Amino acid sequence: MLLRFFIVGLAAYAAFGSGQVQAQNPRVQIPFELHDKSLKLTEWARQPMLLNPVALSFDYQGRLFVVETARRGTVD
């Protein structure tokens, strides 16, 4: 049941939330070096494209799926 809800949520996001979002802040370059030269680091999302991530998952093709939440100003 939870998997079905997750799949429907991803489909809804793909249908309605896949528009281009422009960043409000200029890109800041932070010096960073990977120790293993066979790895590649790429930025795939930044604010405001990804505001409140709560879960990450990779599928068998290496695609990344992110679950977001709409947090409000309430105390947990």
At residue 53, the pLDDT reads 81
pLDDT, block means (10 residues), the chain with 76 residues:
64 57 66 80 73 86 86 66
At residue 4, the pLDDT reads 66
Q: Which of 72, 74, 76, 66 is nearest to 14 (CA)?
A: 66
Report the amino acid identity of residue 21: V
| Phi and psi based region of residue 62 (left: phi greater than 0; alpha: psi -120 to 50; beta: remaining) | left
At residue 70, the pLDDT reads 80
This prediction's pTM: 0.38
At residue 21, the pLDDT reads 58
